[in-house]
Amino acid sequence: MNPSKTSLTVDLNHFSQYVVLSFQSSYRDVPESHWAYKTIQELSAKQIVKGQSEAMFNPSGSITRAEYAALLSRALFLTASRPTSFKDVVAGSWYEEAVNATFEAGIIQGVSEDRFDPDQQITREEMATMLVRAYAYRTGVKPEASTFHATNDSSKVSSWAVTYVQGALEAKLLSGHQDCNFLPQAMTTRAEAAQSISNLLAKF
């Protein structure tokens, strides 16, 4: 659909009533020159990502465990059949359903048996872990690297995250930076999180 035109052409297999909606965000801090502009626009239109206000997205800001759970839940249309036992997931909170759903799907785990730590910021290696689990949940196949994808900081990847980071690189769910570093301990930015979700959806 071209917003500049007043018509829409689509193939239908039955007669019914349809509503056509068009949404375009206008975040002042995400200009067209931003590397994630197109991704943020597309995911905003699908209501998968949301700005921190109507005018601001904060692409360089960090993202929390609760927020990334919400992105994955919306992207994969996850629902929960039961609550979790996490004492710090507040009943009725905006993130409760997303946390319950992603935990039930085996995508995100707690930081302990009874704590989720929803406000904790996630690192890039943690994002890789959740992303690979989400891919495996959706496809039934966990991506594994056929060869080791070396980066300048490969030795800095936590031992528990190595297979996930390698799997994410193999499946092109994530990529390193231009300086050939993955930055596993760096905080994930909101723009990077949006791009990771776009990469994930492109696989299905």
Q: What would the pLDDT profile of 87-99 be if each residue is shown by its tens digit? A: 999 999 999 999 9
111 token code pair? 């930081």
What is residue 26's predicted lDDT score, i.e. its pLDDT?
A: 82
What is residue 144's predicted lDDT score, i.e. its pLDDT?
A: 85
Per-residue pLDDT band for 145 (boundaries 50, 70, 90) equals confident
Q: What would the pLDDT profile of 52-68 be if each residue is shown by its tens digit? A: 998 999 999 999 999 99
Q: Domain residues of the chain, as ranges?
A: 37-201
What is residue 8's predicted lDDT score, i.e. its pLDDT?
A: 60
The CA distance from 18 to 21, in Å, is 10
Q: Is the pLDDT of residue 14 over 80?
A: no
The CA distance from 69 to 42, in Å, is 19
Per-residue pLDDT band for 39 (boundaries 50, 70, 90) equals very high
Q: Is the pLDDT of residue 114 over 50?
A: yes
The CA distance from 27 to 40, in Å, is 9
What is residue 1's predicted lDDT score, i.e. its pLDDT?
A: 46
Q: Is the pLDDT of residue 193 over 90?
A: yes
Give strand pairing partners of 64: 121
Report the share of the chain in percent with pLDDT over 70. 88
Tokens 């710090």 correspond to 88
Q: What does DSSP assign to residue 121?
A: B
The CA distance from 128 to 132, in Å, is 6
CA triplet 50, 139, 39: central angle to 5 degrees?
Answer: 30
Q: Is the pLDDT of residue 156 over 60?
A: yes
> Cα dist. 12→9, 84, 123, 150 in Å?
10, 41, 43, 47
DSSP string computed for 5-51: SS------SS-------------TTS-TTSTTHHHHHHHHHTTSS--
Tokens 């009874």 correspond to 114
Q: What residues contact residue 99 under an 8 Å CB cut-off, 6+ apart?
A: 66, 69, 84, 86, 89, 108, 116, 118
Neighbours of 84 (CB within 10 A): 17
Backbone dihedral angles phi then psi of residue 114, each to the nearest 5 degrees: -120, 10
Q: What is the mean pLDDT of residues 143-165?
A: 93
